[in-house]
Amino acid sequence: MESLRRSITNVGRQTERPAWADAYLVELRESIRAIVEPTHPLYMKLQCRLTDLETKFAVTDKALTKELNIMQMELFSLQTLVKRVDNMEEHLAHVRDALNKIWTKPAHDLD
């Protein structure tokens, strides 16, 4: 392993990069910088907006959940009220039937 390191090191020292490669690397770095620098603020703005949207979504989700719970409670109350009205209608039907029996009896049966 040591001999391999020495040979790589020696090869590295003996080989010089051509001038065109250095110029190419400089140009490549400048191109990358020209692309990254303007996009970095855009990325930061997008990240902030995404964080804001996530926060708004969480708040909205919480509010919708709360509203849904309220609506479910109101629906339960409404169902209870409907059952009570049905019971009252049934009771009134019995009262109506009883009154009809009383009113339809002949007068001599009442004496």
Tell whether 43 is covered by a domain. yes
CA 13 vs. chain centroid, Å, equals 59
Query: What's the domain range around 37?
Result: 23-103
Tell whether 2 is covered by a domain. no
Tell whether 8 is covered by a domain. no
Tell whether 60 is covered by a domain. yes
Number of domains in the chain: 1
Whether the predicted pLDDT of 5 surpasses 60: no
CA 37 vs. chain centroid, Å, equals 33
pLDDT tens-place string over residues 59-84: 999 999 999 999 999 999 999 999 99
pTM of model > 0.75:
no
Tell whether 7 is covered by a domain. no
Tell whether 66 is covered by a domain. yes
Tell whether 4 is covered by a domain. no
Considering the chain, what is the average pLDDT of its residues? 85
Q: Where are the alpha helices (DSSP H) in the chain?
A: 2-14, 19-104, 107-110
Q: For residue 69, which amino acid is it? A: N
The whole-angstrom separation of Cα 19 and Cα 13 is 16
Whether the predicted pLDDT of 3 surpasses 60: no
Which one-letter DSSP state was computed for residue 105? S
CA atoms 59, 64, 69, 70: torsion sign: positive
Give the pLDDT score at 4.
47
Tell whether 57 is covered by a domain. yes
